Structure 1
């Protein structure tokens, strides 16, 4: 009997040992030490978000800490928008099971530790809207599981590491609003799953790499506000999935293909302002039915603007500072076509070479229109009384034209009114004194006569008023 009991005891002991061997290692002391070191670097925690971080409780109950359900190891650290002030801690790289690191919108400073490349399981890295400086460590390429990198709105400098082209499952990459220099690496063309590439507001220069045309899943391409130059590679216009294409404020040149909007049928935002583009507006423009915002401003576009009847969703349209014309009987027909755009809020054709009678169809534009900017052209005729139908209009800029007649008394709600350098005449409507939100008004160098309305004193927000070079009498109301 004793022998049997001994055998059973040995068997149970062996079974228990085997069972313990199979159980996951629940020791998370390494993670705890890493988090406490991370907390040590925090110099300001005004809302006490880290008060729960103490050794008397499980780290998996600490605010912002996520743990795996099986191994009890830290898999996520999410402390976005917690007003923390801290130096970037190298000890964060000891969280070897970390998959998500989100410290967005705090006051972290210092450099990104080179050791971050040791986080082999990291999938999401969000450090946006902090005060992080230094260079982007090339060791990030060691985090081969990364899908999201957002380092935007910091003070990063130096170049974009070409090694990031090895992150083959990366989907979203943003370095926007930093101080980065150098070229856009051609290796980014290897990121075949990339959906968003955000590089705007840096100091990048050189050409757009032709290799970016291989990013067949790309939805958003933001490289605005840099010093990127040269022509846009034709391969970019093969990215039929593109929704956002933002190239504004660069030194890009050349012609856009006439089939641009049929090649990129999903475009909702096309911002090309402040470059060196030339040639005609693409003839496919009227087919871009998904467009919401279009900016062709401050380039060298010439020729006619096509009719835009089908752009039902458009809310922002800017052609200003180009060399566009309105020759022929139907040269201004595109303005009449805008009456079909019921969501239009901003429309500008300022500083072009448009001629002819000021279109009366302006009065039929969208009731949502807030800005109408048509100065610096050669429009003639009267401002239609029906412009008062535009009840949401806050800015009307028609300066430097050849307009005549009177100011419509129907104008309402304006905050900014610029009619300088025209041939307008008659008296200044007393109704302008009803514009309680009026902030700036320029009526100089016209042919106005009569008395300056005393009711202008009702415009309590008025900061700028120019009535010079007219035939007006009286004092400007204070």
Structure 2
């Protein structure tokens, strides 16, 4: 029999394709699923403690898409989600996670992961959700994250300042960096370039307001570009300054405004009544003075109102008895 090397190679290639289709259920894939397996096993090796054994089935035998916390795209047969919450994992973030080229959700909330976010993560071009809250991460968000144009939801723990490069993620709708040690001025220019923001949570950081911590006007003015903002949280930051009288004209859709535990002084502007969708308002533990404006009773959707521990004078407006949905009211210690 004459050996035809060309036909043999074609036949071999055909058999490989057929076997891959049989194994992967006729789904095209972005790269070898073994690459995803190797990346996940490299991450497992970077974990020094796995007390709840959530990674016990991460091995060479179990199918990758059956690993605990792993989800795959059935069309491309690639890992698209890595979600491990409250597992008390101890270790580092492996840069090999960047080899999960189709990863869209990376959520490792409430573990004991330390170190920095590897700059290699900037190659995760499909990443849209990054949740790393409740870990022991340090350093700054890599500037190379500006390449992650699909990133829409960020929930982190960091030092330093929020990098300006975050503005390149123009589709971002949730920026939650609460309970960190972020410094610098409130990120006015940065949020002004994130018009799709729905949720802005900056509470319990070490930021300051402008002009030696005495001017909140420029920050609130910058938020005018965030026309669909739903929640604004700046609690526990020791911010100084006054609430601008224009605050009622800035947000048409705001439902939650949390500014407690700061050093905000001055009076409450009656224009606050223009925040017609507001359901939660917390101004407790500040230096506010003057009278409580009766107009506040016109916030018909208000469910929670906290004004305690300020320096208000006068009586509580009788009109505040007209709230129809109010379930929590605290006006003590003023």
The corresponding residue for 2:330 is: 347
User: C-alpha displacement at 1:105, in angstroms?
Assistant: 1.5
Cα distance 1:171–1:237, how it changes in 2: closer, same or farther (>3 A)? closer
Map of 1:241-320 to 2, 5 A cutoff?
A: 241-248=228-235, 249-254=237-242, 256-257=244-245, 260-261=247-248, 264-273=251-260, 274-279=262-267, 281-285=268-272, 290-297=277-284, 298-303=286-291, 305-306=293-294, 308-312=296-300, 313-318=302-307, 320=309
* Contact 1:229–1:250 (8 Å) recurs in 2: no
CA contact (8 A) 1:176 1:202 kept: yes
List runs of 5+ in structure 1 lacking aligned partners. Answer: 1-5, 209-226, 327-331, 352-478
Q: Following the alignment from structure 1 to structure 2, what is the Cα–Cα distance between the partners of residues 266 and 129?
A: 29
What is the alpha-carbon distance in structure 1 between the residues aligned to residue 75 and residue 251 of structure 2?
A: 47
Contact 1:110 1:131 (8 Å CA) reproduced: yes
CA pair 196-245 structure 1, distance change in 2 beyond 3 A: closer
1:266-295 deviation per Cα after TM superposition (whole angstroms, max 9, x unaligned):
44333344334324x323455655433334
CA distance in 1, matches of 2:205, 2:316: 40
Normalised by the length of structure 1, the TM-score is: 0.57
User: Following superposition of structure 1 onto structure 2, how do residues 21-170 of structure 1 map, counting pairs within 5 Å?
Assistant: 24=28, 27-151=32-156, 154=157, 156-170=158-172
- Structure 2 unaligned residues grouped into runs of 5+: 22-27
Cα distance change on mapping 1:255 and 1:163 into 2, 3 Å: closer
* Residues 109 and 131, structure 2, Cα contact 8 Å, conserved in 1: yes
In proportion to residue count, which structure has more helix? 2
- Count how many residue pairs are aligned between Structure 1 and Structure 2: 312
* Counterparts of residues 309-388 of structure 1 (less than 5 Å): 309-312=297-300, 313-318=302-307, 320-322=309-311, 324-326=312-314, 332=315, 334=317, 336-341=318-323, 343-351=326-334
Q: TM-score, normalised by structure 2?
A: 0.79
For the structure 1 residues 292 and 261, does the alpha-carbon distance in structure 2 shift closer, same or farther, using more than 3 Å as the test? same
Tell me the SS of whatever aligns to 2:138.
strand
The answer to whether the 8 Å contact 2:309/2:332 transfers is yes
Q: Once structures 1 and 2 are overlaid, which stretch shifts more, 16-25 or 264-273?
A: 16-25
Give 1 or 2: higher strand fraction: 1
The corresponding residue for 1:196 is 199
Q: Is the 8 A contact 1:160 1:184 kept in 2?
A: no
> Which one has the largest radius of gyration?
1
1:148-203 deviations in Å (ceiling 9; x for gaps): 1111xx3x212222111111222222221111222344244222322222222111
Question: In structure 2, what is the Cα distance between the partners aligned to 1:272 and 1:137?
Answer: 29
Is the 1:162–1:188 contact (alpha carbons within 8 Å) kept by the matching residues of 2?
no
SS at match of 1:112: coil
Are the structure 2 counterparts of residues 246 and 77 from structure 1 closer, same or farther at C-alpha, using a change threshold of 3 Å?
Answer: closer
Rate the CA distance shift 1:305–1:112 in 2: closer, same or farther, 3 A: same
Query: Quick one: structure 1 residues 96 and 82, their matched pair in 2 at CA, closer, same or farther if it must change by over 3 Å?
Result: same
